[in-house]
Structure 1
Amino acid sequence: MWDLLLRGGRVIDPASGRDGTADVAVRAGRIAEVAAALPVDRAARVEDVHGKLVLPGLVDAHTHVLHGATYWGVDPEPIAWRTGVTTWVDAGSAGAYGLDGLRRSVAEPAPFRVRALVNVSGIGLVGRTGEHHVLENLDVDAAADVVARHGDFVCGVKARMDSHTVGAHGVEPLRRAAELARRLERPLMVHIGYGPPDLGDIAPFLTEGDVVTHCATGVATGLVVDGRPADTLLRLRDSGVLFDLGHGSGAFDFDVLEAELAAGLVPLVSTDLHIRSVYGPAFDLPTVMGKALAAGMGLTDVVAAATHRPARAFGLPAGTLSPGADADIAVFDAEEGRFPVVDVHGGTREAPLRLTNTATYARGRLLTPRAAEPPPAWVPLSAAQERAEDHRHQQVRSAVQRLDRPEDFDEPFPRPAAKDRA
């Protein structure tokens, strides 16, 4: 007997090469079978998903979810259920000093998968920036010792390399981050932004399997020259270095991404979701996937870039609907049309498809709605964002309805007999 059968959707699973109408059966938290016209009498629960997209649970390779303990942290639970993201990679919110807290307070209670890239700086992202200003906090030995106690929870190393974070130390934080990644035998994700250091300074420290995030930023110099990717970028690609979108609140430019795509440089699609970008313009992973479509990526490529490719990059058991895999499933309405989308500089394009999540299953269990808390005091919101946040609160309140008429209940409690009332 299957626990769940999703019938008749368009199943897109790039990891297995599947794209077509099929049913998906789930048993004991795992994918049991994917095939056309599976028998409904073998399932305890059947959901009709005709006309919908059925995808592997999305893998967001760049998020910040250490909420309540860092400047950037956002609570993933009010977001996961409505976006299809069942694997969250926290990109360096915690260093050696905070890794236990991230695991205990966020990852272990979560009803979905949370993994971490350990920040080379022990203090992680407690503040807005500047985590590399004191080199004593970048203790490779201490970080390696802490990571060794966490098994596969840590799937890589993170370093933010721009002028704000490194201060007077140049590439020394990156040298230590690369040393830590090689010792752990895990990939290194490097944030690029306002230089120096610039991409040319960073490149010598990167090797096959490492990841450059914010690859379509409009503020890092030397990414695109005369409308084409710089030679350094192409050499990194040819050496096996991966690229990650990492949209965030300030790191996505349509012109840059389109130039990279035209040269065959196809990034992982991630949000860099944090307490500021969650209010826009990133919002969530389906929104960022729509922007990748608007820039010219095909639907299958976008799904791959948000499922099995990031899972493979970080060695995660996720991103596929193959039988035996965890039953992480994302169901979407896919509306065709011309939908305006924006980058962080006000550039606009039109997405040919709008993805709206209708159900998210993590290990076969449906994630249920949960409202988000208000933003903390240090998050600046525009007037439009303030209005949207107020409207959201009003909608949550209005969703609670009082039923107080007898006809509201199919089987009202019977009135007790007179002798029972005595």
Structure 2
Amino acid sequence: MTITIVLRNVKTVKGTAVDILLKNKKIVDIVPSGTGIGENIIDYQHKVFISSGWIDMHVHAFPEFYPYGDVIDEVGYKTGVTTIIDAGSTGADRLPDLVDSCINAKTNVFAFLNISQIGLQRIDELANLNWLNEEKLKKTIVEYKDFIIGLKARISNSVVGSNGIEPLKIARRFSSDTGLPLMVHIGSGPPGMNEILDLLEKKDIITHYLNGKANNLFDQAGQPLPKLLQAIERGVHLDVGHGTASFSFKTAEIAKQGNIPFDTISTDIYRNNRLNGPVYNMANVLTKFLYLGYSLTEVIDAVTIHAAEWLNKPELGRISVGDIANLTIFSVEDEAISLIDSEGAVREAKQKIDVKGVVINGEFIEC
């Protein structure tokens, strides 16, 4: 007999206290706090929040590609994240191996396909245009159409070498031919930021948009580039992609003052920056945005509703009766914490987000 699990006395991010009932992997009821009936009652005594399962739009979960890789569940449900998007670790050559690695993982996984067939086998994967094989790319997309949600192009100087903006022009053509949007990594130039922005279209993603490098999205006076504002108007999506080298408190403060908010918050996590920082986990990254003055609702919506909308999978961004249960349970603790960005700058915060558990595809797991 399947038992009913009751998550009792939990709060939504808007402060509503409820009980959530789970059975046969699904949310079967949402009732007033303290009224849920079931065989297994887990009473959180109004001390925790619950949201739909967190979605991390930018991770690297193919451990064979050192140093930019990790085990799926280590960057997934064990950190409170129920769905991860591998951000171009593999291209056409190794995407099947990434898919195979998901078989025994609990975490939900999708992927951006690297436009270079070699993926992150080496970190200058766009320095040789012969690696941008459209035939292989299209064949892989057809074979794994339910797994691939977009294309990844890392457009920074160390990746493209002497090819400049040409790999992004090729990526644009690949995107047009396949109907898949682009996630574009931005970093040190050349190519220059205005060249990159000119090529981005609706639903494309700029990841690392808060990096502190010279070739960023803000001018020397701290104003957003006019072409960034035009891109946002076109529907280009802004993603954090914290990572080892791509999040600056200073840039984030400039962006907030200039009203250039994130659409999604992601970690760009892999083994090294998970174990040694500055990323550690999604909760740590979300805590940084609480510190910056964003509301809890804004922060959590970025890893639930907004991410699910971009993925065209609204069920992953809501808590609704009848849906497969993917939930994250967390608290906001009044506890001092030192937060570090990718440049080594430290901020002292008075609150932190702490993950308590997840429900992943109907399975409750304490974290």
TM-score by length of structure 1 reads 0.81
For residues 214 and 117 of structure 2, the distance between their equivalents in structure 1, rounded to whole angstroms, comes to: 26
For residues 81 and 314 of structure 1, the distance between their equivalents in structure 2, rounded to whole angstroms, comes to: 19
Preserved contact between residue 215 and residue 245 of structure 1 (Cα < 8 Å)? yes
Which residue number corresponds to residue 90 of structure 1?
86
**Shift, 1:141, TM fit:** 2.5
Secondary structure (helix, strand or coil) at the match of 1:176 reads: helix
After TM superposition, list the pairs within 5 Å mapping 1:88-237 onto structure 2.
88-105=84-101, 107-127=102-122, 129-225=123-219, 226-237=221-232
Secondary structure (helix, strand or coil) at the match of 1:276 reads: helix
For residues 134 and 30 of structure 2, the distance between their equivalents in structure 1, rounded to whole angstroms, comes to: 45
Which stretch shifts more, 74-83 or 355-364? 74-83
Is 2:269 aligned against 1:269?
A: no
Identical aligned pairs, as a percentage? 29
For residues 197 and 48 of structure 1, the distance between their equivalents in structure 2, rounded to whole angstroms, comes to: 54
Secondary structure (helix, strand or coil) at the match of 2:120 reads: coil
For residues 327 and 3 of structure 2, the distance between their equivalents in structure 1, rounded to whole angstroms, comes to: 15
Aligned CA-pair RMSD? 1.8
Count of residue correspondences: 361
**Shift, 1:299, TM fit:** 0.7
Which residue number corresponds to residue 11 of structure 1?
12
For residues 3 and 149 of structure 2, the distance between their equivalents in structure 1, rounded to whole angstroms, comes to: 32
For residues 358 and 75 of structure 2, the distance between their equivalents in structure 1, rounded to whole angstroms, comes to: 11
Aligned residue type for 1:32? V
**Shift, 1:264, TM fit:** 2.2
For residues 78 and 209 of structure 1, the distance between their equivalents in structure 2, rounded to whole angstroms, comes to: 29
Preserved contact between residue 20 and residue 36 of structure 2 (Cα < 8 Å)? no
For residues 353 and 179 of structure 1, the distance between their equivalents in structure 2, rounded to whole angstroms, comes to: 45
Structure index of larger Rg:
1
Among 238, 260, 272, which residue is 2:233 paired with?
238
Secondary structure (helix, strand or coil) at the match of 1:125 reads: helix
Is 2:351 aligned against 1:362?
A: no
Preserved contact between residue 140 and residue 179 of structure 1 (Cα < 8 Å)? no
Unaligned runs of 5+ in 1: 13-17, 370-422
Call closer, same or farther: CA 1:49–1:313 in 2, change over 3 Å.
Answer: same
Preserved contact between residue 19 and residue 35 of structure 2 (Cα < 8 Å)? no
Preserved contact between residue 295 and residue 349 of structure 1 (Cα < 8 Å)? no
For residues 233 and 266 of structure 2, the distance between their equivalents in structure 1, rounded to whole angstroms, comes to: 22
Aligned residue type for 1:303? I
Among 313, 317, 328, which residue is 1:330 paired with?
328
**Shift, 1:157, TM fit:** 0.6
For residues 70 and 140 of structure 1, the distance between their equivalents in structure 2, rounded to whole angstroms, comes to: 26
For residues 205 and 228 of structure 2, the distance between their equivalents in structure 1, rounded to whole angstroms, comes to: 12
**Shift, 1:184, TM fit:** 2.5
Preserved contact between residue 71 and residue 126 of structure 1 (Cα < 8 Å)? no
Unaligned runs of 5+ in 2: none
Is 2:32 aligned against 1:36?
A: yes
Preserved contact between residue 237 and residue 265 of structure 1 (Cα < 8 Å)? no
Which residue number corresponds to residue 387 of structure 1?
none
After TM superposition, list the pairs within 5 Å mapping 1:12-91 onto structure 2.
12=13, 19-37=15-33, 39-41=35-37, 43-50=38-45, 51-91=47-87
Preserved contact between residue 60 and residue 270 of structure 1 (Cα < 8 Å)? yes
Call closer, same or farther: CA 1:44–1:151 in 2, change over 3 Å.
Answer: farther
Preserved contact between residue 29 and residue 363 of structure 1 (Cα < 8 Å)? yes
Which residue number corresponds to residue 320 of structure 1?
318
Aligned residue type for 1:5? V
For residues 352 and 184 of structure 1, the distance between their equivalents in structure 2, rounded to whole angstroms, comes to: 47
Secondary structure (helix, strand or coil) at the match of 1:229 reads: coil
For residues 76 and 39 of structure 1, the distance between their equivalents in structure 2, rounded to whole angstroms, comes to: 37
Which stretch shifts more, 75-84 or 277-286? 75-84
Preserved contact between residue 326 and residue 361 of structure 2 (Cα < 8 Å)? yes
Preserved contact between residue 155 and residue 191 of structure 2 (Cα < 8 Å)? yes
TM-score by length of structure 2 reads 0.93
For residues 30 and 258 of structure 1, the distance between their equivalents in structure 2, rounded to whole angstroms, comes to: 40
**Shift, 1:350, TM fit:** 3.4
Preserved contact between residue 90 and residue 117 of structure 1 (Cα < 8 Å)? yes
For residues 309 and 65 of structure 1, the distance between their equivalents in structure 2, rounded to whole angstroms, comes to: 22
For residues 117 and 220 of structure 1, the distance between their equivalents in structure 2, rounded to whole angstroms, comes to: 27
Preserved contact between residue 22 and residue 36 of structure 1 (Cα < 8 Å)? yes
Q: CA-to-partner distance for each residue in 1:396-419, whole Å, 9 max, x for gaps?
A: xxxxxxxxxxxxxxxxxxxxxxxx
Preserved contact between residue 77 and residue 106 of structure 2 (Cα < 8 Å)? no
